[in-house]
Structure 1
Amino acid sequence: MRALHTSDWHIGRTFHGHSTDDHLAQVLAAIAQAVRDHHVDVVIVAGDVFDSSTPKAEAFTMLNSAVRAIRSAGAQVVLTSGNHDGPARLGHLAEFAAFGGVHVLADLRRLAVPVAVPDAHGEVLVYGIPYVHPEFLRGAFEDFDGRTHEAALSFAMDLIRDDARARVGEGARYVVASHCFASGEAGGGGREVHETTESTGRSEERDITRGGLDIVPPGVFQGPAYTALGHIHSRATLREDLRYSGAPLRFSFGELSSAKGAWLVDIGAAGLEGVEWLELPTPRRAVRLTGTLDHLLSPGVHEEDRDAWVDIVLTDDLRPRDAMRRAQEKFPHAVTLAHRPSTVAAHARETYADRTRGKSDAELIEAFLGFTRNGHGASPEEQELLADSLQALDAKEATR
C-alpha cells in the first residue's frame, strides 16, 4: 500500500490578510496529480483541514473539489480533525461520505475504528486520532482520567493497538494519523512551533499549551507501521516511522526555510518499506528583503522577487515617508514592513529636568525630533516651518 501523508491544509487561511485560496487550490490539485503519477492508494490528512472551526461555504467548496479530484485519481481519502477544525462541522455527513471513499475521522468515540485499505497482502488499517485534548477525551471515555496530552495520546494508542490485534493479530499492519505536538523531550514549555513567529490570533484556535502539558514524547507512538503527524507547519522526522509532513503552503514569514510537500509512504507485507519526500509547487514564494529603501527600489535589485510575498526590513537611519506605498510600487505583494536602522543613535541618560533646563522652544523641539528620529533632527524645510510657527506664537503672546 502506498500512502501520501499531508496535513495542515488550513483552508480559508490568509497570508497577512491576503487570501491564499487560489494558491492552495493549485497545491491541492498537485496532490491529486501526484496520486495519479505515483499510484497512491490513500491520502492521509493529519488534521487542521480548515483554518476555522466555523469555515465559510467557500472553504467547503474547496475541500469538496480537492477530495473529488483525489478520488478521481484513484485514492481513498482519510481526514482527521485538528485544533483549528470544528469536529462536528468537519464530520458532518461523514457516514455518507465514507461510501464514496472519503473517510472523515473526527469523532473521539470512534478513534479505534479504522479504515481498511486493501493491498496485495491483505488490508492495512488506517486509524485517525482527532485532536485530543484531555478534557475532550474525558468527556468521551468515562475510564480516562488523565490531565496531559501525553496521557490522552497514550490512552488513544492503547485502544488502537488493542483493536488492531483483535482484528488481525500480533502482525497487524496499521497506520495512525495524529494531530499533536510530539517532541523528543517530555515536559517543558513552548507554544505551537509553527506559530512562535507569526500568530493568527484567531479566537477559535484553542490554546493547547498549559505549562508544557501539550508535549507528547515519540515513545507514545509505538506499534504502527507509520504515524502521520500534523500540527507543525514544517516537515520533521522524529523516527523513520514517525514524521510531520508540514503544511503544503506557506502561511507566514516564519516558514521561509521550510520545504513544502508531502511524504510518500510504502507499507509492505512486513510493515514500513520506505518513505520518500514529494515536493509540491510553490504558487508564490515568500521572501524577506533587508536594506535601505532606495537600495531595494533601485533598478535591477531583487527583480526576481517582484511577484513574491515580501517582508521588508528597512535599515535606513530615518524611516522614509510613505515607505510601504513606495515599496508596493515595485513589490505589489509586500505585506509587512519593519524599520530596523543599521545605526542607532546613543542618547545620554539624563533626567527630564536636565534635558530641558535652559533650552529654548526651538532647541527642545530639535532635541525631541533627534530622539524620536534616531539622531536626525528637523530638515531645512521643517526648520523654516518651525521658526515661522514659533514667531507666530511669540507675536500672539506679545499682544496679550
Structure 2
Amino acid sequence: MRILHTSDWHLGRSFHRESLIEGQAAFIDHLVETVRAERVDVVAVSGDVYDRALPPVDAVALCNEALRRLVSAGARAVLISGNHDSARRLGFGADLFDAAGVHLRTDPSRAWDPVTVDGVAFYGIPYLEPELVRAPWELSERSHTAALTHAMARVRADAARHRASVVLAHAFVTGGQASDSERDISVGGVAHVPLAAFEGVDYVALGHLHGRQRMSETVRYSGSPLAYSFSEAGQVKGSWLVTLDPGGPSAGVGSADFVPAPVPRPVGVLRGLIDDLLTSPSHTPYENHWLQVVLTDPVRPKSAMDRLRARFPHTLALSFAPVGAAPAAHQVRLSGRPEAEVALDFVREVRGEPAAHEEEELLRRAIEESRAKETMA
C-alpha cells in the first residue's frame, strides 16, 4: 500500500497580505500528479486544511476541487481537523462523503473508529482541545498529553484486530522544531506530547509543525506545502510517500521517501547595509524572492523600502538593527509637549538625524488635519 502523507494546507492563508491561493492550487496540481504517477492508494491529510474556522470562498472551492481530483485519480482521502479548522464545519456530511472515498475525521469520539483500506486501519485523531475532551473522557488532567494518551490507548486496543495501522494526528511532539507561523496550542504553558504516546502503530502521520521532520522511523511531520513565515526560509516543502506491506511476513513501513513540492516563489531573509544590498551581485539570486530585509546601517536610510523594491520588487517586511547604535541616554518627556515636537524627536531618534524640511511640513500638516477631523467628529 502507498500512502501520501501531507498536512497543514492552510487554504485561504495570505503571506504578509499576499494571496497564496495560486501557489496552493499549484500544490494541489502536484499532489494529484503524484497520486497518479506513484499509484497512491490513500492520501492522509493531517489537519489544518483551512487557515481559519470560517475560510474564504475561494479556499472552500479549492478544497472541494482537491478532494474531487484526488478521488478521480484513484486514491482514498483521509482528513482530520487541526487547530485552525472548525471541526464541525470541516466534518459536515462526513457520513455521506465516506461512500465517495473521502473520510473526514473531526469528531474526537470517532478517533478509534478506523477507516479500513485493503486491510490497513487508518485512525484519524483530530486536534484535541484538552478542555473539551477532559470531562467526556474522564481525564485526570487538562493537558494535550492526557488527551492523546487516552485516544492512543483506545486506538491500540482496536488496532490489534488489524494487520497494519496508521494514525493521523495534529499535535506538537516533544523535540519537534517549530516555526513562526504555527499558532500556540499550549495549555498551562505546555504544548508538547511525548513521542512515546504514539507507540504501537505502524505509521504516524503528524500535522501542526510546518517543517518536515522525522521524529522516528515511523513518526513524521510532512510540514506545510508552502512557506508561511520567513522562519521557514530554506525549508524543502512537500509530502512523505510511505509504503506499507500489510500482507508481508511483518507489517510495517517498507520505505518513506520525501516528495518535494513546487515552489511558486521562494522566501528569504537578507541582512546588511542598504548600499551593499542594492549593489552586490551576491544578492542577485534573491531578486525574485519574497523577502524580509534587516538593515544594519548606523543611520536609518531614507525611502528604504522604495529603494529596496527597485531591485527586490517582492520585499514584504523591513526592519532596522543598526550596528553600533548607542542606547538612548535619557527618557524623553512627552506629557504637555506639542504632538509635532514629539513626532520629530522620534524621527531624529530612529534615523539618527533630523527630519528634512519637507518631511517636517508634511508631518505637521498630517497632525493638523487629524486634529481637525477629530474636532468635526
TM-score past 0.5 threshold: yes
* Contact 1:369-1:377 at 8 Å conserved across structures: no
Shift of 1:264: 0.9
* Contact 2:125-2:167 at 8 Å conserved across structures: yes
* Contact 2:144-2:187 at 8 Å conserved across structures: no
CA separation in 1, counterparts of 2:200 and 2:158? 12
CA separation in 2, counterparts of 1:284 and 1:371? 37
CA separation in 2, counterparts of 1:93 and 1:132? 20
What secondary structure does 1:45 align onto? Answer: strand
Unaligned runs of 5+ in 1: 186-191, 200-204, 354-363, 387-400
What's the TM-score, normalizing by structure 2? 0.84
- Counterparts in 2 of 1:302 and 1:143: CA distance versus 1, 3 Å: same
1:192-222 per-residue CA deviation (whole Å, 9 max, x = no partner) reads 9233xx57xxxxx6x5213343211011101
Unaligned runs of 5+ in 2: 334-340, 362-377
Match of 1:173 among 164, 172, 186: 164
1:368-389 per-residue CA deviation (whole Å, 9 max, x = no partner) reads 6896156x4459x76xx99xxx
* Contact 2:123-2:167 at 8 Å conserved across structures: yes
Match of 2:157 among 162, 166, 171: 162
Shift of 1:330: 2.6
Alignment of 1:286-325 (within 5 A): 286-298=267-279, 300=281, 302-325=283-306
CA separation in 2, counterparts of 1:92 and 1:22? 26
What secondary structure does 1:28 align onto? Answer: helix
* Contact 2:76-2:101 at 8 Å conserved across structures: yes
Structure 2 residue identity aligned to 1:146: E
- Counterparts in 2 of 1:155 and 1:300: CA distance versus 1, 3 Å: same
1:342 is matched with 323
RMSD: 2.8
- Counterparts in 2 of 1:115 and 1:370: CA distance versus 1, 3 Å: closer
1:222 is matched with 199
User: Within the alignment, does 1:91 sit opposite 2:86 as a pair?
Assistant: no
Between the aligned residues of both structures, percent identity stands at 39
Structure 1 residue identity aligned to 2:145: E
2:131 is matched with 135
Structure 1 residue identity aligned to 2:43: V
2:50 is matched with 50
Alignment of 1:96-135 (within 5 A): 96-118=96-118, 123-135=119-131
Which protein has the larger Cα radius of gyration, Structure 1 or Structure 2?
A: 1
Bigger mean CA offset, 311-320 vs 42-51? 311-320
Shift of 1:350: 6.4
Shift of 1:49: 0.5
1:346-367 per-residue CA deviation (whole Å, 9 max, x = no partner) reads 66x56889xxxxxxxxxx99x9
Structure 1 residue identity aligned to 2:316: V
- Counterparts in 2 of 1:292 and 1:129: CA distance versus 1, 3 Å: same
- Counterparts in 2 of 1:294 and 1:147: CA distance versus 1, 3 Å: same
Alignment of 1:196-345 (within 5 A): 198=181, 208-268=185-245, 269=248, 270-298=251-279, 300=281, 302-345=283-326
* Contact 2:295-2:320 at 8 Å conserved across structures: yes
Shift of 1:331: 2.1
Bigger mean CA offset, 297-306 vs 245-254? 297-306
- Counterparts in 2 of 1:336 and 1:161: CA distance versus 1, 3 Å: same
* Contact 2:105-2:111 at 8 Å conserved across structures: yes
Structure 1 residue identity aligned to 2:109: R
- Counterparts in 2 of 1:294 and 1:63: CA distance versus 1, 3 Å: same
Bigger mean CA offset, 92-101 vs 152-161? 92-101
1:29 is matched with 29
Shift of 1:129: 0.1
CA separation in 2, counterparts of 1:156 and 1:351? 56
Structure 1 residue identity aligned to 2:218: D
User: Within the alignment, does 1:64 sit opposite 2:64 as a pair?
Assistant: yes
CA separation in 2, counterparts of 1:253 and 1:60? 26
- Counterparts in 2 of 1:313 and 1:184: CA distance versus 1, 3 Å: closer
* Contact 1:291-1:313 at 8 Å conserved across structures: yes
Structure 2 residue identity aligned to 1:17: R
User: Within the alignment, does 1:149 sit opposite 2:144 as a pair?
Assistant: yes
CA separation in 2, counterparts of 1:6 and 1:350? 53
- Counterparts in 2 of 1:294 and 1:102: CA distance versus 1, 3 Å: same
Structure 2 residue identity aligned to 1:226: Y
Bigger mean CA offset, 228-237 vs 63-72? 63-72
Shift of 1:134: 1.7
CA separation in 1, counterparts of 2:167 and 2:44? 9
User: How many residue pairs were aligned?
Assistant: 348
Shift of 1:299: 7.6
